[in-house]
Amino acid sequence: MGKDSQARHQYSLGAIVQLGFRCWPYYRPQVPHLLIFVLLNTLIGGMILGGMVLANDVVDNKILLGERLEPLQARALFLDADYVTSGAEDEPPLSKDQRRQVRLGVLVLGALYMILLTASVALVWYYMVWIFQRINQQLRVEMLARAERLSLSHHSQSRTGDAIYRVYQDSATITNVLQFMLLTPLRILAWFAFGMVVIVLFSPWLFLFMVAAGVPIYCLMRHYMPKIRLAARESREANSELTSRIQETLAAIRVIKASGAEDHMMQQFGLESQQALDAAYRVRYYFVLLSVGVTLVGVSALLVAEYLMATWALSERATYMGAAIALVGFAVWNLGAFKAATGRGLELTKQAREFAGTWAIVQDLVVGLERAFYLLDLEPEVNEPEHPKAFPSPIQRVDFDAVHFSYQSQQKVLAGVSLGAEVGTITAIVGSTGAGKSTLVSLLLRLAEPEQGRVTINGEDIREMATEDLRGGVSIALQQNILFAMSVADNIRYGQKDTDQQKIQAAARIACADEFIQDMPEGYDTELGERGGKLSTGQRQRLSIARAVLRDTPILILDEPTASLDAMTEQAVMRNLAEWGRGRVVFIITHRLSTIRRADQIAFLEDGVIRELGDHQSLMAQQGAYSRFVEAETGEAR
């Protein structure tokens, strides 16, 4: 079942309406367009109803039976008074030529009517799509912005594919909610009300009979709605899991191929895909059962009603409110009255089935909308101060003061880490995998908040600074070397659109990337494949370093910056960074001893605690945890 706190929520009508009201901030900017859309739909509905009212009697009674036209019908067909009924009982029927003229008028007017109606429906449909996409776009942007503001604690405990499915798929429900919770029900109620009014005009007994048919329909809806709701939630969660599987598979495709795990991967994917298919099938299975049940009730009621109406038509019994509908020739039950009333009965059956289907769809939409709002309801752990302080300038030092942090309460990652780094120095953070190195520097970027302790710059707590200003003063080259399917220059200047070519090349030279870039077919304008697939791992790493250097910030973080570089290139990069880093604070996370030795100070992190702190020579002399780490890396005994 669901992961969200509201996963077990049972939706009453009030709860669904309340959830629908949460969509109002996204609908509000489009209110003028929505009102125009409703007005246009109303006009189109009037065209359809008017055409049906005029056409039914003209075709069935005037053309087929030869009855004379009502004044309104004659005016609509541009015919003179010779075609209009006088009301006398012994008036002659329309002649053969007159019927032909009426038929010709109906064909011409009907053709013009259908052209106008088709064009109007197409334009209004396009207008509706345009409005809905604007609403959906606003929600998606806010959802992604909220996901980006969430801390590493959240992202470490949730699958990326789930967020993708929520942003891409669940967000689409906000426009469907507008359609199926407001516009479609209004249209159904309008048509239903029109049909019931017509039925009352013909016979109140028919009206009561139709109302009675609503009781078993209500019982069917009460029975199937909880089943549809549960199946809809299972379907969306299964598809979310499938999206996560696809994302993880494509991200790890090289590892899968290198490990020969294609068969296992496909077997796992096939299993989860089948589970998602089965879940989607269950939703549609209950949809069909409900629809068939409502249709059977409606058709059964209509068959009985048709028997009664046929009996009344054969005896030409007066309609209940004949004077009110004499305008269109239905003062008594005749062929036209029978077909018109039957048509309204069929329409009522159709509207009842559509209403049941719409309400079933609403159950699925509310699940999706709840999943979308779940992401928006998550409160970011990193909050902006009300009155932020300016980022310190010039920078003097960075301090971690007794910092504690954990992704989950039972898993402590950092336990009272204290570390200081002065401007103009390189600090190497060293330790075994999982020691908390990357987590420590992520706190400097406020990607997460310490549970205890604080991080300061020039003695000022970074929580009192605007996050945008803080991250504008810190550059980071990540271990993953994320590159994009764009040019080399655009990858280096990523996030800095106005940077000129000279600065890009200078940053590339510091990262020892300029030479291989110049050898590429189009130099800095060479387009890279997805995730930089055209480059080697070492080349991608140097571009990542160049991107960080280009930002020219007073604090630089390098996460395993030379792990994929050969010894000569590593030495050149480190010399350049040492020269460039004067007047800056540089943190390096690395296992490469050649890089570690160049650091001004080394912090050896173990089990979330800094066990030793000093330069390479002093730490080796202590014969402690750091020296054992070095021996393990080099394979040398003491």
Please spell the DSSP secondary structure of 364-395, one letter per residue: HHHHHHHHHHHHHHSPPSS---SSPBPPPSS-
| Residue 89 domain flag | yes
Q: What percent of the chain has pLDDT over 70?
A: 86
Q: What is the pLDDT of residue 400?
A: 92
Domain of 24?
A: 13-377
Q: What is the pLDDT of residues 351-373, one digit of tens each?
A: 888 888 888 888 887 787 777 77
Q: What is the pLDDT of residues 380-419, one digit of tens each?
A: 666 778 888 888 888 899 999 988 888 766 667 888 889 9
CA 267 to chain centre: 28
CATH number of the domain at 261, please. Answer: 1.20.1560.10
pLDDT at 123 exceeding the cut of 90 = yes
Are 93 and 82 spatial neighbours (Cβ–Cβ below 8 Å)? Answer: no
Q: What is the pLDDT of residue 259?
A: 67
Residue 299 C-beta-side C-alpha neighbours within 13 Å:
6
CA 145 to chain centre: 12
| Residue 177 domain flag | yes
- The token pair at 418 is 């204290």
The DSSP H or E segment spanning 199 is helix 184-202
Tokens 């942003």 belong to residue: 167
Average pLDDT of the chain, as a whole number: 80
- Name the amino acid, one letter, at 131: I
Distance CA 104, CA 110 (A): 10
Q: What is the pLDDT of residue 544?
A: 85
Start-to-end CA distance of the chain, whole Å, equals 56
Are 590 and 561 spatial neighbours (Cβ–Cβ below 8 Å)? Answer: yes
| Residue 83 domain flag | yes
Distance CA 277, CA 239 (A): 8
CA 434 to chain centre: 34
| Residue 282 domain flag | yes
Tell which wins on pLDDT, 19 or 149.
Answer: 19
| Residue 33 domain flag | yes
| Residue 384 domain flag | no
pLDDT at 183 exceeding the cut of 80 = no
Please say whether the dihedral angle defined by the alpha carbons of residues 497, 503, 509 and 511, taken in this order, is positive or negative.
negative
| Degrees to nearest 5, angle at CA 392 with 390 and 393 | 115
Distance CA 174, CA 29 (A): 14
What is the side-by-side order of every strand in the sheet holding 585-589?
Answer: 474-477, 555-559, 585-589, 425-430, 601-606, 609-614
| DSSP SS3 for 606 | strand
Q: What is the pLDDT of residue 398?
A: 92
The DSSP H or E segment spanning 455 is strand 452-457
Q: How confident is the model at residue 323 (pLDDT cuts 50, 70, 90)?
A: very low
Q: What is the pLDDT of residues 513-538, one digit of tens each?
A: 888 888 888 888 888 866 556 678 88
Distance CA 53, CA 61 (A): 12
Q: What is the mean pLDDT of residues 566-572?
A: 84
The residue count for the chain:
638
Are 519 and 474 spatial neighbours (Cβ–Cβ below 8 Å)? Answer: no
Q: What is the mean pLDDT of residues 7-31?
A: 69
Total domains present in the chain: 1
Of 58, 59, 88, give the one whose Cα is nearest residue 75: 58
Q: What is the pLDDT of residue 4?
A: 44
Q: What is the pLDDT of residues 29-71, one digit of tens each?
A: 888 998 898 889 888 878 887 777 677 777 777 787 788 887 8
Q: What is the pLDDT of residues 214-229, one digit of tens each?
A: 889 889 988 888 888 8
Distance CA 269, CA 249 (A): 9
Q: What is the pLDDT of residues 125-182, one digit of tens each?
A: 899 888 888 887 877 777 776 666 655 554 445 556 666 767 766 777 777 777 787 7
DSSP H helical ranges for 395-466: 437-444
| Residue 1 domain flag | no
Q: What is the pLDDT of residue 456?
A: 92
| Residue 555 domain flag | no
Are 614 and 601 spatial neighbours (Cβ–Cβ below 8 Å)? Answer: yes
Are 231 and 238 spatial neighbours (Cβ–Cβ below 8 Å)? Answer: no
Distance CA 80, CA 82 (A): 6
Distance CA 557, CA 551 (A): 12
